[in-house]
Amino acid sequence: MTALPNALALQRSARWERLGMVSLIAPALLVIGLTMLIPVGWLFYLSALSDAGNFSLEHYQRMWEQPSYGRTFATTFKVSLITTFICILLSYPLAYFLSELPKRVATLCMVAVLLPLWTSLLVRTYAWLVLLQRKGLINNWGIELGLWDEPLALVHNLTGTLVGMVHVMLPFLVLPLYSAMRAIDRDYLRAAANLGAGPLRRFWLVFFPLALPGLITGTLIVFILCLGFYVTPAVLGGGKVIMVAGRIANDIELFFNWGAASALGVVLLLLTMLLIFGAMRLARIGSALVNRSQS
Amino acid sequence: MSWLERPATETQITHRARLWLYATAVLVMVFLVIPTLLVIPMSFSASQYLEFPPSKWSLRWYESYFNSKSWMDATATSLQAGLWTALFATPVATMAAYGLHVARLKHSHMLLMLLLTPMVVPNILIGIGVFYVYVQLKLVNSMLGLVLAHSMLAIPVVMLVVGSALKTFDLDQELVARSLGASRIKAFWMVTLPQIKFSVITGAVLAFLTSFDEIIVALFVSGGPNSTLTRNMFNALRDQVDPTIAAVSTLIVLITTLLLVITQYVGRNK
């Protein structure tokens, strides 16, 4: 049975419509293809090319065998884990405090959380450099107050890197935690109190599980972002804290070793993707669990 | 005294029992704002070394900034790159968001993911990859190359902002306009665009800031006379710290805040 002429015309017009819409998307695809997909694809290719120019996995093999690479990855994970941990410790009380405030006051206090986000990263890094240096404010105050006698080495090392990274990452944890805690119906806590649960039990059995999805999301975002950090360790670490991104930059700038840099980049990218994928799965499982426990 | 004993919650926790919470929260907030707030008075200090509060005030760091050719060139480059990025990425991303929203393709979800990849790929990887490709294309240190790379980073941001505005917009209005004889483009221009205008402007501001603030890609693909402000600052921070950076920082904070406040204001008066 042949379609009616009208139906044919409709089909044709629908096809044109789709084509038109695709052509609207094309420029964006072109830009992203040229400056993102091709370059990153090229790095994948370079990473699988030996110095002699034929296919091999020698860059990956070297990464596995040379202990210096192992140290870079160990530093990266160590710094990311400590940063994430400190962020959790600092942001949980702050988010809790903000979620208990009246909404208008909380919005005002939120400016403190958002201010770092709209201050350029370099501006903040500079400020920490000045605050933490040997004759900086922190050392001056610490000595004046008699907390320590000699100026402490607070910057150009791991401490400086951690301070800078925690400062950058805190808002990313406070925001999801705050919105999760805000959404908790305080009637649950009142009910628990009514049934005789003390403060600790109320927190642990009622509040904490209900805020957990926000905590998990925030923690994963912070950890994933930490893995790719370059600027803060480069400036505040003073060459002593080499994370994967810093090592990639060094391989290019100092040694022109594209193979090694690409292989490291590929591993970093795959690791990031794996974690994001895992985080999405986890978030889905988490929200399913919460939904079931509430229904 | 009495305030301390008063219950803070309906579950009879007193304020006294919560003092630790208030103290921690306030300290963390101070930690968050102090770097931004410190840079401003520092830039007006007369001393070469940092003292707080400064014992003498002066504008010498602003003078040294405005008299330095390299800082001036870098500022011009960053402002230009930001403007071009906003002008280029905003229409491209708006078109893409509109196309994806209207077309309802079988694979539009995949396409969206593809267009958002710049947000998840570590910037260092983009930086060296773009550098490698630009060497072949002879685009290193060119304004065109910088704007293209920054647009790639800005497109996902604009797409998300405009896309979420389109979700709340009723597309049937455009159909009505077309049934009354307006062409497709005219219908978009006169019916849809005015209603998503605020999001498009916000997207453009964010595109500007994405470029203006970007460090890592600029580190690899900008240079020479087209060095960006961030690249200059990064190198200055690694070599020797000079209070001129405080003046530069203050100006950056000013520009960013001004832009964000204007956007908020436009949004409120909509």
Query: Could you state, in order of their start, the residue ranges of all structural domains in chain B?
Result: 2-62, 69-268
The answer to whether the beta carbons of residues B254 and B54 sit under 8 Å apart is no
Categorize the per-residue pLDDT at B237 as very low, low, confident or very high, splitting at 50, 70 and 90.
confident
At residue A295, the pLDDT reads: 46
List CB contacts (< 8 A) between B115 and chain A: 25, 28-29, 32
In a domain, A269, yes or no: no
Is A289 touching B (CB cutoff 8 A)? no
Question: Cβ contact (<8 Å) for B92 and A93?
Answer: no
Residues 206-225 of A with CB under 8 A from B: none
Q: Chain B: nearest CA to A127, how far in angstroms?
A: 5
In a domain, A174, yes or no: yes
First and final C-alpha spacing in chain A: 52
Task: Tally the C-alpha atoms within 13 A of residue B51's C-alpha that lie toward its C-beta.
Answer: 10
Task: Tally the C-alpha atoms within 13 A of residue B80's C-alpha that lie toward its C-beta.
Answer: 16
Please state, in angstroms and rounded to a whole number, the distance separating the CA atoms of residues B192 and B174.
7
Higher-pLDDT residue of B145 and A64 is B145
List CB contacts (< 8 A) between B53 and chain A: none
Please state, in angstroms and rounded to a whole number, the distance separating the CA atoms of residues B85 and A133.
37
List CB contacts (< 8 A) between B100 and chain A: 21, 25
Question: Cβ contact (<8 Å) for B50 and A137?
Answer: yes
**SS3 assignment, position B242:** coil
Question: Cβ contact (<8 Å) for B124 and A245?
Answer: yes
At residue B80, the pLDDT reads: 96
In this predicted structure, which of A141-145, B69-73, B120-124 has the lowest mean pLDDT?
A: A141-145
**Chain A residue nearest residue B234, CA to CA:** A122
Q: Chain A: nearest CA to B258, how far in angstroms?
A: 11
Q: Which domain holds residue A187?
A: 75-241
At residue A291, the pLDDT reads: 62
Q: Chain A: nearest CA to B71, how far in angstroms?
A: 15
Residues A76-80: what's their mean pLDDT? 95
Q: ipTM score of the complex?
A: 0.86
List CB contacts (< 8 A) between B262 and chain A: none
Question: Cβ contact (<8 Å) for A25 and B111?
Answer: yes
Categorize the per-residue pLDDT at A2 as very low, low, confident or very high, splitting at 50, 70 and 90.
low
Residues A1-22: what's their mean pLDDT? 78
In sequence order, the β-bridge partners of residue A49 are: A55
Categorize the per-residue pLDDT at A55 as very low, low, confident or very high, splitting at 50, 70 and 90.
confident
At residue B264, the pLDDT reads: 79
pLDDT in tens, B64-108: 899 989 899 999 999 999 999 999 999 999 999 999 888 777 777
The answer to whether the beta carbons of residues B47 and B55 sit under 8 Å apart is yes
In a domain, A49, yes or no: no
Residue A292 has pLDDT above 70, yes or no: no
In total, how many domains does chain A have? 1
Categorize the per-residue pLDDT at A61 as very low, low, confident or very high, splitting at 50, 70 and 90.
confident
Six-digit token string for A25: 């998307």
Q: CA B135 → CA A185, B130, B153, distances in Å? A: 57, 9, 20
Is A231 touching B (CB cutoff 8 A)? yes
At residue B10, the pLDDT reads: 67
Categorize the per-residue pLDDT at B168 as very low, low, confident or very high, splitting at 50, 70 and 90.
confident
Question: Cβ contact (<8 Å) for B155 and A202?
Answer: no
Six-digit token string for A21: 């819409």
The answer to whether the beta carbons of residues B259 and A120 sit under 8 Å apart is no
In a domain, A268, yes or no: no
**Assigned CATH for B69-268:** 1.10.3720.10
pTM: 0.88
Please state, in angstroms and rounded to a whole number, the distance separating the CA atoms of residues B127 and A251.
13
List CB contacts (< 8 A) between A93 and chain B: 21, 24-25, 28
Burial of B61 (0-12, 13-18, 19+ CB in 10 A): buried
Question: Cβ contact (<8 Å) for B120 and A120?
Answer: no
- The sign of the CA dihedral B116, A285, A216, A171 is positive
Question: Cβ contact (<8 Å) for A28 and B155?
Answer: yes
In this predicted structure, which of A25-29, A157-161, A287-291 has the lowest mean pLDDT?
A: A287-291
Is A17 touching B (CB cutoff 8 A)? yes
Q: Chain B: nearest CA to A128, how far in angstroms?
A: 7
pLDDT in tens, A80-133: 999 999 999 999 999 999 998 998 899 888 888 988 888 889 989 988 988 888
In a domain, A237, yes or no: yes
Categorize the per-residue pLDDT at B257 as very low, low, confident or very high, splitting at 50, 70 and 90.
confident
Q: Chain B: nearest CA to A208, how far in angstroms?
A: 16
Question: Cβ contact (<8 Å) for A39 and B130?
Answer: yes
H-run or E-run covering B171:
none
Please state, in angstroms and rounded to a whole number, the distance separating the CA atoms of residues A61 and A41.
20
Higher-pLDDT residue of B223 and A262 is A262
Q: Which of B105, B124, B256 sits opposite A249 (nearest CB)?
A: B124
pLDDT in tens, B181-226: 888 888 889 888 998 988 999 999 999 999 999 999 999 999 888 8
Question: What CATH number has the domain bearing residue A236?
Answer: 1.10.3720.10
Substitution target in A130, A173, A236 with the highest count of B β-carbons within 10 Å is A130
**Chain B residue nearest residue A169, CA to CA:** B32
Residues A209-225: what's their mean pLDDT? 91
